[in-house]
Structure 1
Amino acid sequence: MKKKLALTSVAFLTAITLAGCASSSQTVATSSAGNITKDELYDAMKSSTGKTVLQRLILIDVLNKAVGKNTLEADAKAEVTSTIAQYGGETSFNYILAQSGFANKDEYQQVLYLNKLIEAAVKAKTSFTDAEVQAYYDTYQPKINVQHILVADEATAVDLINQINGGADFAELAKANSTDTATASKGGETGLFGAGDMVKEFEDAAYALNVGEVTQTPVKTQYGYHIIKMLEKPAKGTLEEERTNIEALMMKDKLADNAYLTSVISTIVQDAKVEIKDKDLSTAIDTFLPAKTTDSSAAASDSAATSGSATSESATSDSAK
């Protein structure tokens, strides 16, 4: 029902690991058919994943400097260790990584570290005006807490609503009938959630309820049919009381906007004056650089400038007459 995934990465960054291979003729593998050198390995890996990995390494260096002294690399390592434990060990964790497109634990940890750097850098570069905070406050709704029962068909949902209206205990019905395993054992209680945390149909129906009220028609979502009961619906505080929470939510929206992330990172990368020496990898950070002008567009620009100059000169000449 929630819209989050356990393993995520910034959308415009792909996760591929390239071993740190210095240019060398040192042999890394031998066989009766011949030897493979580090040079050969490096060239092969460079052509397939080099630009992506170089981009990541550059961004880590540049953003780490922009953020300043931090513990984000250690935080990423600790988070990976915790996640492995949550999945029951490295075997299960590695399976999830493979399904998510990561090559190994080190690669996932490096991408996680980069994402933390991106978040820290964007937060440092982002502020909100009073007008922006006011506009957000005007439509803001505090987090709510509900119980719900999820079933596969509408007829069952209608029957459960009738039982609730007849005095049946909502929590007991949730434990006995709900197919949402994450909440059924808790009597259907979701815990606090806010705008954008749940699928729209569920969220709209929930926010429309008053405390103690139950939806009288089943709420259909992609997961099935829900019966929802409002448990907690705090009143909205004043702007001053809500400001800290509102700014946190506004920052969350910024961090979910890849176009905004790219614009902030582009500024940081361009200020760092990155120069890529290897011509084969020269476009690795083009995503964060101004668009290159093509010869044809440059010629058109020159032509327009010449035309504008001639027009200006003509106007000056006419004015002098």
Structure 2
Amino acid sequence: MKRRFLPIMLVLVFLLSGCQSAEETVIGEVNGEKITKKQFEERYNIVKTSYESNHQVTLDKKKDSEVIKSLQDQAFDELVIQCLIVQETEKNGITVSESEVDTAVSNLKEYYEKQDKDGFENFLKKTGYDEKSLREELKNEKLFSKLYQQVTSGITVDKSQAKEFYDKNTDKFVQPESIQVSHIVVGTEEEAQDLLKQLKEGEDFAELARQHSLCPSASEGGNLGLLNEKSSYVSEFKNAALLLKAGEITLQPVKTEFGYHIIKAGQKEPARTLSFEEVKDQIIIELQKEKETQVFLQYIQEVKGAATIEDNRKK
């Protein structure tokens, strides 16, 4: 399974509730809106946990004081940006209805409960949300998405721009030797073992994928397309897939953060340079995302530059 990442400006709004005027210790203000000590500590804990996970370290207050100071500044700045985003949605008349939030909650429940009957409850426990705070979080996500779309509407990339990029970067489109891969991913090892048994008894892989796989690729019979050394799949999955020969299926389920996978290898393709027509749509999408991100970040910087921001942490 592929990991997916978004720029920090695009994800920070998902992580905490919006700016609040809680009757708590106030450590900052953004255009008169309060940032509380509680909000700051919650955000810092998220930033710190992410840093420690990414760097495989445990921060020490004495030895890592400079890193901790930097992460604290980052946490405060992200709260400022979050406040500004909420304020901008209000200024631009952007709203989210309760029915939209209902749908988002329902989709999230369906996703986690498809993996495990207690999956949604476990998700709430793991993240520290209750249903009320989760609804607020999902509402913020929708608000952010609508603001992003409004700010970046009208930005386009045409075929000539894509061709220019392709001609200057043909080395980026060299595809190593690859193998077609399909998979079935389920929530438990027991389910995976049962599916392996059915496959050994002659059941069709694609049909089992359609019936049982948790991945969106289920609708395609589990087909994930081509995979190679450069593919951005989690290592456990990619390494297991690359060991397979054409037609082979993993003998045991492969465990990743997404669940338990049964992987099937298709035909191999030799290394080659992909033609412009093959990658045209991909280039256009990527260039457009890049332009949209640049425009939105510039917009946020301009909003921040015009804002009245108070940082009272040191007072």
TM-score, normalising length from structure 2? 0.46
The structure that has the greater radius of gyration is 1
Higher relative contact order (CA 8 A, sep 6+): 2
